[in-house]
Structure 1
Amino acid sequence: MKLKKAELQTFLDEKVELYNNPKFIDSDPIQVPHQFTKKEDVEIAGFLSATIAWGNRKSIINNAKRMMQLLDETPYDFIMNHHASDLEKLSPFVHRTFNGYDFIQFVKSLKHIYQNHGGLEAVFSNYAEANSLQTSIHQLKKHFFEGEHLARTQKHISDPLKNSSAKRINMFLRWMVRNDNRGVDFGIWQSLSPSQLSCPLDVHSGNVARKLGLLKRKQNDGKALVELDEALRKLDLSDPVKYDFALFGLGVFEGF
């Protein structure tokens, strides 16, 4: 389906209008951080929900809610003030290859990020580039695993500098940074701009992007992400990632 740029933009803008609204939340893991109001609770709930966002959507949402229950529905307070004995109840948790040991490691690593690096937003802001947060993701992973940690857990944070599309963290960043008053994304990280975001690239958004001529590369990897970013920035330089709603909605809900 090859559309002229103006036609493509109109088509995608209409789809953004269709999917970028609160009804979208009911079928998306973003509903989990929407349970909270405190900034740190929202970002931690968002980070953990995004971390396990692969596979069946219903299962992702149920397991992300289960994570919040295990953190006593106060994720920031639990992470900062837990005792070693509090972590035992996390060990039975499992979502696909993310298990209780990974969950416990994430709790310890998040405490380290808030105690020693000023929190999640500070890490991403400190390493942000003018039109990319991919180096920030790489640095977050470095800081996340600075202390003693399980080697197996490292695979649950992607590294764009190793050619990963880092879909889940880019999705999390969209949630935290975009704020268009539509009630879906939070926009609570004001030190960063939507113009710096990258589109969460997965099977659905990748397939739709190829059909629309926005992406040529076959693999959904870091190089494809750069290519898609460039195409979306030509459509909207200040808020390229709003088109995630269109690409994802077309793929998941319309089987485009």
Structure 2
Amino acid sequence: MKEEELKDFLNAKVEEFNQPGFITNDPIYIPHRFTKKQDIEIAGFIAAVFAWGQRKTIINKSLAFLELMNNAPHEFVLNYTEENLKLFLDFKHRTFNSTDALYFLHFFKWFYERHESMEEAFTNGLGVDSSMEVRLISFYELFFSLPDHPKRTYKHIPNPSKMSACKRINMFLRWMVRKDEKGVDFGIWDTIKPSQLICPCDLHVDRVARKLGLIKRKQTDWKTAIELTENLKRLDPNDPVKYDFALFGLGIVEKF
């Protein structure tokens, strides 16, 4: 398929799948239950971290976690007590367990006592043109900067310096950054530009992108996500990750 044909094809698929009807059966449904900016950030981050496995399970586990937070995540992290934390001792989602849950809550409390928005975790001390790789490494270091953080929790926060494709956190950033007139992505952050985002490279996106010649690299890692995004920028340099809708939809809905 020639580049212009590919662009037209994928643009049509973006229009088809980037619709409010997409929300209900996707992890992005979780932050869409909230209107307060900080609640959207916390709920979105939890849903993104939980986003591996079946989407129904991801949504149900995210709902269960937020229920333990009284469905008011920002208020909860600022005011929880030791008694509240006991509710999380039996929580588990795949390899995410109570130790991880308690550290996430500790980090959220520490962070939101000092900052207005989670956007600052990806921007403070960095220039506006800083690469996403630099931003993700900086966030990883910040997240694990608290004393006595559990080493087992490292696996839940990806780091491009370790060659992770960082699929889940790139998805979270898409939600927060993209200005989306269709009402799917939130676009509540302003410092990071949509053109700086990296396309989330999950199993379905990876498979479809390879079929369309957008990925040549054999393995799937950070360099693969960069390769995919650079090729998508040839189709739309200002908003390359909008094609995540097209690639994901082609993969999971149309079994392309």
Shorter-chain TM-score category?
A: over 0.9
What's 2:144 paired with?
A: 145
State the Cα distance separating 1:84 from its structure 2 match: 1.9
Distance (Å, rounded) in 1 between the aligned partners of 2:114 and 2:38? 15
What's 1:184 paired with?
A: 184
**Does the CA contact (< 8 Å) of 2:136 and 2:160 recur in 1?**
yes
Aligned residues: 254
State the Cα distance separating 1:49 from its structure 2 match: 0.5
Distance (Å, rounded) in 2 between the aligned partners of 1:32 and 1:10? 31
**Does the CA contact (< 8 Å) of 1:175 and 1:185 recur in 2?**
yes
Q: How does 1:119-198 map to 2 (within 5 A)?
A: 119-126=117-124, 127=126, 130=129, 132-147=131-146, 148-198=148-198
State the Cα distance separating 1:129 from its structure 2 match: 5.7
Residue identity (%) = 51
The secondary structure found in structure 2 opposite 1:165 is coil
Distance (Å, rounded) in 1 between the aligned partners of 2:127 and 2:4? 31
Letter in 1 for 2:49: T
What's 1:40 paired with?
A: 38
Q: How does 1:236-247 map to 2 (within 5 A)?
A: 236-247=236-247
State the Cα distance separating 1:132 from its structure 2 match: 3.2
**Does the CA contact (< 8 Å) of 1:34 and 1:42 recur in 2?**
yes
Gaps (5+ residues) in structure 2? none
**Does the CA contact (< 8 Å) of 2:177 and 2:194 recur in 1?**
yes
Q: How does 1:1-256 map to 2 (within 5 A)?
A: 3-116=1-114, 119-126=117-124, 127=126, 130=129, 132-147=131-146, 148-256=148-256
Letter in 1 for 2:210: R
State the TM-score, normalized to the length of structure 2. Answer: 0.96
Letter in 2 for 1:81: N
State the Cα distance separating 1:74 from its structure 2 match: 0.4
Q: Please give the per-residue CA displacement for 1:62-92, whole angstroms capped at 9, x wherever unaligned.
A: 0011111011000011111111221110111
State the Cα distance separating 1:176 from its structure 2 match: 0.3
Q: Please give the per-residue CA displacement for 1:8-32, whole angstroms capped at 9, x wherever unaligned.
A: 0000000000000100001101001
Distance (Å, rounded) in 2 between the aligned partners of 1:12 and 1:128? 32
Distance (Å, rounded) in 2 between the aligned partners of 1:215 and 1:131? 24
Q: Please give the per-residue CA displacement for 1:146-181, whole angstroms capped at 9, x wherever unaligned.
A: 112111011100001211110000000000001121
Q: Decide which moves more: 203-212 or 144-153.
A: 144-153
Gaps (5+ residues) in structure 1? none
Letter in 1 for 2:2: K
Distance (Å, rounded) in 1 between the aligned partners of 2:131 and 2:23? 26
**Does the CA contact (< 8 Å) of 2:199 and 2:241 recur in 1?**
yes
Letter in 2 for 1:78: F
Distance (Å, rounded) in 2 between the aligned partners of 1:118 and 1:37? 15
CA distance 1:194–1:56, shift in 2 (3 Å): same
State the Cα distance separating 1:137 from its structure 2 match: 1.4
The secondary structure found in structure 2 opposite 1:53 is coil
Instruction: Provide runs of 4+ in structure 1 moved above 3 Å.
Output: 116-119
Q: Decide which moves more: 192-201 or 115-124.
A: 115-124
